[in-house]
A and B are shown apart, each in its own frame.
Chain A
C-alpha cells in the first residue's frame, strides 16, 4: 500500500534515537500501519512545539509527511500522556520493558491491531497502579499469542499426552510444557508447578478484566517471571535489556 503524501495516525512512541544536532528518529506503534519509523525534526531544542507530545510512552495523534527515506513528523497532539508512568520509577521501568518487547517482537509496516490494543491496555493498567506484576505477566502471554509464539500449555509438546496435575516442566525451545517423563530428556527446562501452569493458562485464555481477578502471591509471580523471561529471551536470541534494570531497582533499598 502506498501511503498518501500527508497522513495522520494515532501512535504510541516506543523508541527514540538521536539524529544529527536536534532531531530524533522515533519508532511509533500505530493501530493500522503497524510499527513505523519517522523523523521528528528539531525536537531536541527547548522550544520545540512537538517535543512534549513525542516523548516515549506517549499516546499521540501524529501527522506525517511522506519522506524520501523515512517519513517526517509534521505535527502531534497528545491523546494520553500516561503521567504516572513518567513520575513513578517502578512504573516507568515496567512500561519501558513493555515497549522494548513490542519493539523487539514486531517488524516495520505490518499491521497488528490487537497488539496495538494490548499495548494501550497494558500501559493504562500500569497507570492504575495496584499490582504491577499481573499486567506484565498478562502482557507477556498475550504478546506471545499475538505474534505467533503462543506456548502449548494443554498437552505435552513431546508425547502429546494431556498434562496431569503434577509438577511439569516448561521448555523454551520446544515452546511449551513437557510432562515429567519427557522432561528427563530435556535438561534445559524450567520446573512448572501445578499452580503456575494454572495461572499461565488463565492468563493465556482470558481477557484482562477476567484475568485481573486473579490473586497470586509474590513467590509464584517471581517464578512465572523467570519462565516467561526465559522463553522471551530464547525467542529473541538475546537478553531483554530493560529486564536487568527491573532487577536493579527491585534490589535497591
Chain B
C-alpha cells in the first residue's frame, strides 16, 4: 500500500509505519492498530508506551542461564526451591515458557540462543555452549536434559553436546521423541514412528 496516498498526519503515518515493521502485521492491521490507539484513553497509551520502553531498557540476559530477565540472576536461577542439580538445555527463551507452562520440571535452564547449523555457518562458538560447560565444571550438576528442537539442527546440537559432556560423569538425557498428543498415526513420519516404537513404554 502506498503510504503517501493516505491523507494522514505525520505522527499517525509514522505510527502505522512502525507497526507494519512488526512480524505478522500488514499495512491494513498497522492502520487499524494506529487508529485504535488514537481513540484509546491517554492512560492506556501511556501504559503501552512505557511497556515498550521498559522492555528494551530493563530486560537483559541472565548471567547464569542466559534467559531474558529484568533481574540478574533471573528468578529461576535464584529460586532455592528449585532443583539446582538439573539443567535443561533449550535453544531459545520461548522454550522455557513452554516448559514452565507444563509445571512438570523444577530444575534450572540454560538457553543456547540458537542451534548449530553448519550450512549457515553457525558453529559451536556462535551459541552459548562454552558457557554451559563452564556451569558444569563445579560438579554440583548431576543431570543435563537436552531439550533442543527435534529437527536436524537441534539433533546435531544435542549430539555434539553429548560428545562434550559425556566425559564429565554427568547423566545426560534427551527429551523423548515420539508422537505428539492429539495427532493421528497415519500421518506420522518414519523418523518419529521409529523412535516412538523404540521408546515404547509398558502401560
Residue in B24, B151, B163 whose CB lies within 8 Å of A55: B151
Q: Which residues of B contact A88 (CB under 8 A)?
A: 159
Q: Is the CB of A245 within 8 A of B123?
A: yes
Q: Is the CB of B191 within 8 A of A55?
A: yes
Q: Is the CB of A49 within 8 A of B119?
A: no
Q: Does residue B183 face the partner (Cβ distance < 8 Å to A)?
A: yes
Q: Which residues of A contact B10 (CB under 8 A)?
A: none
A245-B191 in contact given A56-B152, A86-B152 (Cβ < 8 Å): no
Residue of B nearest to A80 (CB): B190
Please report the C-alpha to C-alpha distance between residue A92 and residue B162 in the assembled complex, in whole angstroms: 15
Q: Per DSSP, are chain A's interface residues mostly helix, strand or loop, or mixed?
A: helix
Q: Does residue B134 face the partner (Cβ distance < 8 Å to A)?
A: no
Q: Does residue B14 face the partner (Cβ distance < 8 Å to A)?
A: no
Q: Is the CB of A21 within 8 A of B24?
A: yes
Q: Is the CB of B183 within 8 A of A47?
A: yes
What count of chain A residues pass the 8 Å CB interface test? 35
Q: Which residues of A contact B188 (CB under 8 A)?
A: 52
Q: How far is the CB of A5 from chain B (nearest CB, A)?
A: 24
Q: Which residues of B contact A49 (CB under 8 A)?
A: 187
Q: Does residue A248 face the partner (Cβ distance < 8 Å to B)?
A: yes
Q: Does residue B143 face the partner (Cβ distance < 8 Å to A)?
A: no
Q: Which residues of B contact A244 (CB under 8 A)?
A: 118, 121, 123
Q: Is the CB of A86 within 8 A of B118?
A: no
A81-B191 in contact given A89-B156, A89-B160, A92-B159 (Cβ < 8 Å): yes
**Interchain Cβ contacts under 8 Å between A and B, 18 examples:** A47-B182, A55-B191, A81-B191, A81-B194, A86-B155, A87-B159, A93-B156, A96-B118, A99-B119, A241-B118, A241-B119, A242-B118, A244-B121, A245-B116, A245-B123, A246-B118, A248-B124, A249-B160
